[in-house]
A = this chain, B = another copy of it.
Amino acid sequence: MTLGILGGGQLGRMTAFAALRMGLDVRFLVPEPADSVACFSGVTVADWTDPDVLRRFAEGCDAVSVESEWAPADLLAKAAPGVPVWPAPETLRLVRDKAAQRQRLAEAGMPQPVFRVCTTETAFRESAHALGLPVVVKRRRGSYDGYGNATVRQGTELSDAWQRLADPDGVLVEAFVPFEAELSVIVARRPDGETVVYPVFYTEQRDHRCHAVVVPSGFSSEIEAEAVRVALAAVEAVAGVGIVAVEMFALSDGRVLVNELAPRPHNTGHLTIEACDASQFENHARAVLGLPLGSTSLRTPAACMVNVLGTTSGPTRLVTLPEALAAPGVAVHLYGKAESRPRRKMGHVTVLGASPADARARAEDAASRLVL
């Protein structure tokens, strides 16, 4: 049984570890050499927009998935119509256009920030004032981790935001959400619609980038139940297959709002490798291949993941790895990236603990020891 993956970053790497463990074969198609999957033999480096390349790659795959919503799943589906591609190109089209994603979620009645899709600067200015400043302005496509987003606090900044962020089909503008905290619900869904859902994760961003994830989340059971209800409905609304991560805001009044979806394994789910019976990567592989889904139960009272971001530019040096490995009970994950850059995702650490506070303290300590 062979899983094809378009893309070669850390998500593909960790999916491959999980799939190989189960005895599945994995092959990658990447447009250029990719460090994180260089350890695997089944990597094709080629023009992944070329139908011949895609068809040859897909031949012999039981399913093809993507490592990023930007991979050319649509071209692959055209080039090799007999091979299942999950998530479906239509799901990817919806999710990677943040405006289309909002509209689809609105149609499905999902709670989310008030938003407008504006196709002219005039409409944009009017919408921003109608929503009330501050507003969050998002490029429709290609925005992630804070790139392609702007929080506009004054009317004088609107023109600049429009210039920077508007695509030919406009821009997404959202009411600023004064959230109390953020959370993530990760769902695995099979082509036949069967789903499993992971426990709710408390997530913490720093500088628009995932910093820490903790489980149990600490939210009330009412908020957790609502978050799971919304996540399952949101995944259904975009017909996600494989892992879909639903990032949400928790408000002080007990409501949760969908921030955004990621139609693939997600940074907020990395702790599932150690903390849950089946990791998000294992369930992604199972789901896209139509295999039975694995248990998402926690194996531990609590767990915390902390990201390890690059601090300097240059070849990655592991001189601080021994110090991190000396931290007790820590699972260190590094992604094999040969070059570090400030804020580049280089790895993460996960700690299982007796309580969220215990796991968090030890994970922060271990992550801080890794200077890459």
Given contacts A325-B292, A328-B295, contact A20 B39 (CB under 8 A): yes
**Chain A contacts to B: CB under 8 angstroms:** 1, 16-17, 20-23, 25-26, 38-43, 274, 277-278, 286, 291-292, 294-295, 297, 299-300, 318, 321-322, 325-326, 328-329, 331-336, 347, 352
Choose among A274, A321, A335, A347 the residue with the greatest number of B CB atoms under 10 Å from its CB: A321
Beyond A20-B39, A277-B329, 14 additional contacts (C-beta under 8 Å) are: A21-B331, A21-B334, A23-B332, A23-B347, A26-B39, A38-B41, A39-B41, A40-B41, A277-B328, A286-B325, A291-B321, A291-B322, A292-B326, A294-B325
Q: Is A352 in contact with B299, judged by CB distance below 8 angstroms?
A: yes
Given contacts A1-B321, A321-B1, A334-B22, contact A295 B42 (CB under 8 A): no
Residue of B nearest to A328 (CB): B295
Given contacts A42-B39, A292-B322, contact A20 B336 (CB under 8 A): yes
Ranked nearest first, the 3 interchain pairs of A and B with the lowest CB-CB distance are A23-B334, A292-B326, A295-B329
Choose among A22, A333, A334 the residue with the greatest number of B CB atoms under 10 Å from its CB: A22
Q: How far is the CB of A79 from chain B (nearest CB, A)?
A: 25
Q: Is B297 in contact with A299, judged by CB distance below 8 angstroms?
A: no
Chain B residues lying within 8 Å of A20, measured Cβ to Cβ, are: 17, 39, 336
Q: Is B292 in contact with A23, judged by CB distance below 8 angstroms?
A: no
A318's partner among B1, B17, B274, B321 (CB-CB below 8 A) is B1
Chain B residues lying within 8 Å of A286, measured Cβ to Cβ, are: 325
The CA of A325 and the CA of B295, in the complex, are separated in Å by: 10
